Amino acid sequence: MASRLPAFQDVLVVVAHPDDESFGLGGVLHAFAESGSRLSVLCFTHGEASTLHGVGGDLAVIRGEELHAASERLGVERVELLDYPDGSLAAQAPADLAGHVQRVAHETGAGMLLVFDHGGITGHPDHQAATDAALEVAAALDVPVYAWVIPSSVSDELNREFGTTFVGREPDRTHIVLTVDRSAQADAIDCHRSQATDNPVLRRRLELMTDQERLRRLS
């Protein structure tokens, strides 16, 4: 099991919602930026269907602004936010989603794609649709896909405490374990005020994860 990030000059992060890049991948993205990788984020939806609404106003607009602010804190150089409906990404034509990933991968010269693990970490079908789109493109471009994972011990505890549907992995399904600096991730999370103001599940997950993040190679 490795303790270092794979060395890629350009990394494309494919996610479903604003805040996925921070709440989930924030520690990993900051580590990539610190290692010298150029980061780009492709986000498929504005997250307008969220049940969390910690600030007033139009969530679609607010969450887009939060995404850009948080990405800057993490060292992301490019953000592209698409307009697919939040909550219905799995109902979209897979070829259309993959087409966007392929276009941005070409434009950025991505040598690696970074996604949420199979099962979407939280069980959200939008997360899985984003991962599936990245995997389809990776096969065509012959580039690796690495997935952010959480330990099964963490997912089990969260599901027990909160009745959530987190999907974790056993240690033998993890290829990289990183020690990360949470400070930049915390700053990025603070940018997502509409979603982070009252989010005990997020706080508990980060507490359980301590200063470690895990990746596994999907392709």
* Total structural domains within the chain: 1
Q: What is the CATH number of the domain that holds 57?
A: 3.40.50.10320
The secondary structure of 77-88 as a DSSP string is -EEEEEEEPTT-
- Position 36 scores a pLDDT of 96
pTM of the model: 0.96
Helical segments of the chain, H only: 26-35, 59-74, 94-108, 125-141, 152-162, 182-191, 193-196, 200-209
pLDDT tens readout for residues 75-106:
999 999 999 999 999 999 999 999 999 999 99
Domain that holds residue 164: 10-217
Q: Does a structural domain hold residue 3?
A: no
